[in-house]
């Protein structure tokens, strides 16, 4: 089999989103490639035709994590560019170069973030000439992921970084058509050909009962699973502090003002809409119209990382404490179990106050789409909304439109309580967004750029 060098700072068994998505991709890639992995992930284990080469994470990266935990993000951003992992580049490059010298790999692929990993790939290509594919996932100039930069200099450097990645590689993978098209518009046709869209992926959910009791939210009322309408959201919501009714202290106001000094802002996101408040108010609206449903319709949020005093204050202030239940982080397998056992899946992204379309597409889009559950998606215009428009069983609303959310919830709850099966079949989409489909698309791209020996039939991709 041809030999592939894979470079990724993150890797399983870490619980970062990139590591989680790589698990399924690498499992399928190794059926067509011998894979050497250069990674900083501790605990990564060689299996089958995947060999792990560990390069320890850099102290600068660990310092950055401490600064961010202390909420000194501005200091961290001003000290480091494009991210705090530049110190990993040199040792990772030396390891990658020695592997290529020894094994003569046929292609290399770099999975980001962090973006510093891309420097390893571009320097390796410059040094060895190896065909290189860069998987960006999030564009460094995506205004959904980066609505503001520490300074105008940081923004200009991010554009230069993205352009350098395109010039220095053979192919660049984006997960968003909107972002790919936006970046392509500033490049000549010869470079635009290098930009490809391969969407992220997810694995099919485990079918089984939820591990969370189905008793009425906040009422103490027990109910059988057939007697409730349970809405599920997975992942952290970021709007808690924007909604917190507690007056900010002078020191916090000063801290926020300090963070804004020198910022270069591309757009403003309404963080309040990335919360359970609007859907909670929609549920309350439904319960007022159907009082016998109280204790039977509620939202479970999995993955909350915000302080209890803040979240409970927000839920109480907006009158949704009895219909929203918060849970901490759960393992990926448990996420798949919860999504597959829900009556309705909910997702939201922050509204864009200038009305411009966004380029982000949430990973939970694919996780949800691989279930047979109906989906309520409260999204602004942009990539994520466009992608879901044609997906069966998806109900789209605005991020703050609690009236429209209530209409969807009431209709689906009525049908559930009447015994109707709300399962949705999405076989075509399952094939498109599975880990196997993503791995095959990546493998095909790698074969496209790999140096093929005339007499080596092993380079022919599997039919």
Each residue of 361-402: pLDDT tens digit?
A: 998 898 898 899 999 999 999 999 999 998 999 999 999 999
Under 8 Å CB-to-CB from 20, ≥6 apart: which residues?
Answer: 12, 332
Domain match, 235 and 295 both: yes
379 domain-assigned? yes
Question: What is the domain count for the chain?
Answer: 2
Q: DSSP letter string over 59-119?
A: HHHHHHHHHHHTT-HHHHHHHSSS-TTGGGHHHHHHHHHHHHHHH--SEEEEE-SSTHHHH
Domain match, 179 and 280 both: no
394 domain-assigned? yes
What residues pair up with 158 in beta bridges, in sequence order?
A: none
Query: For the chain, which ranges sit under pLDDT 70?
Result: 59-61, 204-226, 451-463
Question: pTM for the full model?
Answer: 0.85
Domain match, 134 and 10 both: yes
Domain of 50 in residue numbering reads as 3-201+434-459
pLDDT at res. 14? 86
Average pLDDT value for the chain: 88
Each residue of 342-363: pLDDT tens digit?
A: 999 999 999 999 999 999 999 8
217 domain-assigned? no
Distance CA 443, CA 446 (A): 5
Report the percentage of the chain scoring pLDDT > 70.
Answer: 92
Burial bucket for residue 240 (CB in 10 Å: 0-12, 13-18, 19+)? buried
Each residue of 265-298: pLDDT tens digit?
A: 999 999 999 999 999 999 999 999 999 999 999 9
Domain match, 386 and 443 both: no
Each residue of 234-260: pLDDT tens digit?
A: 998 999 999 998 887 887 788 778 778
36 domain-assigned? yes
pLDDT at res. 218? 36
Domain match, 245 and 306 both: yes
Domain match, 238 and 347 both: yes
207 domain-assigned? no
Domain match, 267 and 396 both: yes
CATH number at residue 389: 3.40.50.2000
């Amino acid at each position: 089999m041809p030999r592939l060098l894979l470079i990724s700072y993150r890797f399983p068994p870490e619980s970062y989103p990139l590591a989680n998505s790589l698990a399924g991709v690498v499992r399928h890639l190794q059926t067509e490639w011998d894979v050497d992995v250069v990674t900083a992930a501790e605990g990564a284990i060689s299996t089958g035709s995947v060999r792990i080469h560990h390069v320890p994470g850099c102290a600068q990266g660990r310092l950055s994590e401490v600064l961010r935990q202390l909420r000194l993000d501005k200091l961290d951003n001003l000290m480091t560019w494009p991210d705090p992992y530049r110190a990993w580049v040199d040792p990772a490059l030396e390891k990658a170069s020695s592997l290529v010298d020894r094994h003569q790999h046929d292609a290399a692929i770099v999975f980001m973030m962090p973006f510093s990993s891309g420097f390893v790939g571009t320097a390796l290509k410059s040094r060895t000439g190896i065909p290189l594919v860069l998987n960006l996932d999030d564009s460094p100039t995506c205004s959904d992921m980066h609505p503001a930069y520490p300074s105008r200099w940081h923004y200009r450097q991010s554009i230069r970084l993205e352009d350098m990645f395109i010039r220095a590689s053979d192919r660049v993978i984006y997960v968003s058509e909107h972002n790919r098209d936006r970046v392509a518009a500033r490049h000549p046709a010869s470079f635009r050909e290098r930009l490809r869209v391969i969407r992220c992926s997810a694995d099919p959910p485990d079918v089984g009962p939820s591990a969370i009791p189905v008793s009425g939210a906040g009422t103490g009322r027990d109910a059988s699973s057939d007697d409730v309408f349970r809405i599920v959201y997975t992942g952290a919501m970021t709007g808690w502090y924007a909604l917190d009714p507690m007056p900010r202290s002078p020191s916090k106001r000063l801290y926020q003002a300090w963070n804004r000094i020198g910022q270069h802002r591309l757009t403003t996101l309404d963080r309040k809409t990335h919360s359970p408040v609007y859907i909670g108010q929609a549920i309350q609206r439904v319960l007022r119209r159907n009082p016998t449903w109280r204790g039977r319709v509620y939202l479970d949020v999995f993955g909350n990382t915000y302080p209890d005093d803040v979240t409970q204050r927000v839920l109480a202030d907006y009158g949704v404490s009895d219909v929203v239940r918060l849970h901490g982080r759960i393992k990926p397998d448990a996420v798949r179990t919860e999504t597959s056992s829900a009556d309705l899946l909910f997702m939201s992204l922050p509204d864009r106050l200038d009305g411009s379309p966004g380029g982000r597409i949430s990973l939970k889009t694919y996780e949800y789409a691989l279930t047979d559950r109906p989906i309520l998606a409260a999204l602004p215009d942009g990539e994520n909304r466009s992608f879901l428009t044609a997906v069966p069983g998806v109900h789209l609303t605005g991020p703050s439109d609690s009236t429209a959310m209530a209409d969807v919830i009431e209709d689906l709850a009525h049908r559930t309580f009447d015994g109707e099966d709300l399962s949705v079949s999405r076989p075509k989409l399952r094939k498109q967004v599975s880990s196997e489909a993503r791995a095959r698309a990546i493998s095909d791209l790698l074969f496209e750029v790999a140096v093929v020996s005339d007499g080596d039939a092993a380079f022919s991709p599997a039919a």
